[in-house]
Amino acid sequence: MDGPSAMTDYYATPASVIFISVFFPVLGATCVALRFYTRAKAKSAFWWDDWLCIPALAFELAMAALLIWGASKKALGGHLPISADPSPDAYLFFTSPQQVILQQIQYFFDLIGVFAFGSLKLSILFFYRKIFCASNTNKDVFNTITASMIALVIVWTLTFGIGAIFLCGARPAWAWAPVALVAEHCPAQLQFLEAYAISDFIMDCFIWSLPIPKIWGLHMAVSKRLSVIAVFLVGVLTIGASGARMAIYIIYVVNAFAQSDGEKIVTFLLFWTMIECGLGLMVVCLPALRAPMRSFFTAISPGSLISGIKSAFTTRSLKTEGSLDAGFYRLEGVNQSHKALTSDWNRYAPTEGALHTSVVGPTDSDHLVRPVEPMHGVIHVRSEMQQY
């Protein structure tokens, strides 16, 4: 079949397979590390949405190892050996070491992929619940939907995970036998994998669009609401990869046994499955990294740098003895060297998001800080939190 062969030659080469197998795990490990670093720095308790990123990363590393192994053995990204028998049905009973490796990779890839995607879906759902369903008394529709989706994803993961294990009955080795034996002993393989791909795509579409109505109903400026929605809509990248994988299953794999090079389509499926997993882990971590990323890019922007240089030459900073952490401090006086003498007073440590500290005059506290009675002669240092 010319279509799959041309596609393989065009982009799913051994070099590209190895590239995505290195690039996405490195990117994923970086995102997960930054996520935990940000949480620890903000003194935020780790929750299910954080912990689920660890097994997702481990599954991604396992998938990457399988792809690198297959590419190094010339089982992925190239043409498989063909039978010397010229008869049309010869491919049904022919096999080769490369074909066996390819089929083995597909078997374990599908199994690992189910649990990787399940972990990612659960992570983002628990993240939704953490930011939108924080109160135990909050029993609105969104709470019910996310709780139901968590249960559904768990059932989906276990169903397809166990199904992938026993796809060929009690003897998984049939999955890497010649095509005729695969068709005989794994008769539901194509239907099972097609249902897996379609259901994965549908759930991704629903899960990533789930918070949009909730965010749009928040009391904030339209521009800020659109900014937050845009962060979640980065999940469209994952949906795109999932859709590509689903399309390959529906268009090609459903008739894979009807062509002599049908197994080569597996390369596409593995390729897009790896991309979907890699993008998924990155996108799942993005909302949690929104605040530090915004602070970083703001700090390195040309306007910010120029402003900082001008400030250094045109203003006199309020200098303190040592360094002050975020919180409230009492200004006890200013010595002759113009250094402020302060003492710790009712320190307040935020738990989420990026922290910005500003010096303000005596005022009533707003909802971002604990109520503090205004005191004469005291400068309040207000901690402002940017929540995702």
User: What average pLDDT does the segment 100-110 reach?
Assistant: 91
Triad 316, 318, 319: Cα angle to 5°? 110
* pLDDT beyond 50 at 379: no
* pLDDT beyond 70 at 225: yes
User: What average pLDDT does the segment 285-297 reach?
Assistant: 62
CA distances from 257 to 89, 104, 105, 187, 253 (A): 10, 17, 18, 12, 8
CA distances from 255 to 77, 252, 377 (A): 20, 6, 81
pTM for the model: 0.71
Which residue did the predictor score with more confidence, 85 or 190? Answer: 190
Given a contact cutoff of 8 angstroms between Cβ atoms, the answer to whether 34 and 285 are in contact is yes
Given a contact cutoff of 8 angstroms between Cβ atoms, the answer to whether 248 and 265 are in contact is yes
Poorest-confidence range of 108-117, 184-193, 337-346?
A: 337-346
* pLDDT beyond 90 at 56: yes
Which residue did the predictor score with more confidence, 255 or 75? Answer: 75
149-169 pLDDT tens trace:
999 999 999 999 999 999 898
Structure tokens at 5: 């062969």
- pLDDT for res 112: 95
Residues whose CB is less than 8 angstroms from the CB of residue 203 and which lie 6 or more positions away in sequence, other chains included:
121, 152, 153, 156
* pLDDT beyond 50 at 198: yes
Given a contact cutoff of 8 angstroms between Cβ atoms, the answer to whether 343 and 330 are in contact is yes
User: What average pLDDT does the segment 59-81 reach?
Assistant: 89
* pLDDT beyond 80 at 76: yes
